[in-house]
Amino acid sequence: MVQEQPAPRPVRNDVMQPAEEVLVMRHHRLQLGSHRQYYEWSKSGLWPFFMRIGARVVGEWKVIYPDGSSPPTDHEDGWRLARYAGMDHWRDTRGGQTLGGNGPMADRYREAIRNRDRYLLGEDDVLFLTGGGMAPGGPYYLPGLNERYAFAGEGEEQSEDVPHPVRLDVAQPGDELVAFRRHKIEKGSFDRFHGPLPAAAWPFLDKIGVRPIGEWRRFYPAPPADALDTLRQGSDRRRGAHDRESAGYDEAVTMTRYASYEHWQATRNPIALGGDGPDYRAAMEAYEARQTLTQETSVRFLQGHLFPNPPTYGPQVNERYRKL
């Protein structure tokens, strides 16, 4: 029996629609040791079509435990972050054909979903994020202070009010990781919480080798079922319990790259890496102001892949169409 071919669905697209960008961060539970395969199917099959329909993947990571805590023994945890031009854009990407049509690229997209599903045990946390934004990544100009120094004499006391300039050794190799922080903050305070960070803190972090990815406020689309729709409608393992917005706090998410866990540990004493000039003081003032708005903060460490959204070439299928 010859399988009937689906009707062709080529598309033309309207002009870009203005909207407030949203990001969706998904937690997925995978079979042990399968994160790399899961990522490869995403990279080769899903994401080219996602780029075709206007979405942008930030990255895909798994949770690691460099602090010595114990990982789960029956699965590994992964997180994926993707950008959309707005909620209408996100909803349209749930099927994709209205934006990108069908054809071989869409077929590969669905094949990749089926192959990824072999490793997927479940998805049970979906974070919708807005506000704040992606870190610009520089360049930053932090002028050097016109000062001169000499080595301190042996036994010479270093008081708190003595300047702490630094020189640096060569860059150390390591395994890059991402610090994924979730903050419970005072209700309605996100703009004050995030506002000083890009100008006051990110340049100093960049100077000491840290690379901020971005910071956002979590929001809760309604109705709940709409927020948990996925490419395969109705799949129980892709549906988690919908978190409801708290009346007592808002949630902010911060993602930051470090060269290694040792690098993250070294940044706990930022003066040792970056000195205590005006740039350091501006950063610390920003963090102190945030602390007054923060009820609770947790951090997880992720390791995986930032996706560069490279140029993609999907040749047109040699067909002709008539409008119905």
Of all helices (H) and strands (E), which one includes residue 291? helix 278-291
DSSP 34-74: -HHHHHHHIIIIIHHHHHHTT-EEEEEEEEE-TTSPPPPSS
| Alpha-carbon span 214 to 256, nearest angstrom | 7
On the question of pLDDT at 230 being above 60, the answer is no
Report the pLDDT value the prediction gives residue 17, as an integer from 0 to 100: 87
Copy the structure tokens of residue 89: 């854009």
User: Does the 22-131 domain belong in CATH 2.60.40.10?
Assistant: no
Report the pLDDT value the prediction gives residue 323, as an integer from 0 to 100: 83
| Alpha-carbon span 106 to 109, nearest angstrom | 5
What is the tens place of the pLDDT at every residue in 200-228? 999 999 999 999 999 999 999 975 444 44
| Alpha-carbon span 201 to 220, nearest angstrom | 28
Q: What is the band of 158 on the pLDDT scale with cuts at 50, 70, 90?
A: low
| Alpha-carbon span 113 to 97, nearest angstrom | 15
Q: Is the peptide bond before 136 cis (omega within 30 degrees of 0)?
A: no
% of the chain exceeding 90 in pLDDT: 71
Q: Between 304 and 18, name the one with better pLDDT.
A: 304
On the question of pLDDT at 180 being above 80, the answer is yes
143: left (phi over 0), alpha (psi -120 to 50) or beta: beta
Q: 134-142+168-305 has which fold?
A: Alpha-Beta Plaits (3.30.70)
**Do the domains at 22-131 and 134-142+168-305 have one common CATH topology?**
yes
Query: What's the start-to-end Cα distance of the chain, in Å?
Result: 29
| Alpha-carbon span 111 to 117, nearest angstrom | 10
Note the Cα 5 to chain centre separation in Å. Answer: 38
Domain extent listing, the chain = 22-131, 134-142+168-305
pTM of the model: 0.89
What value does the mean pLDDT take over residues 54-65? 97
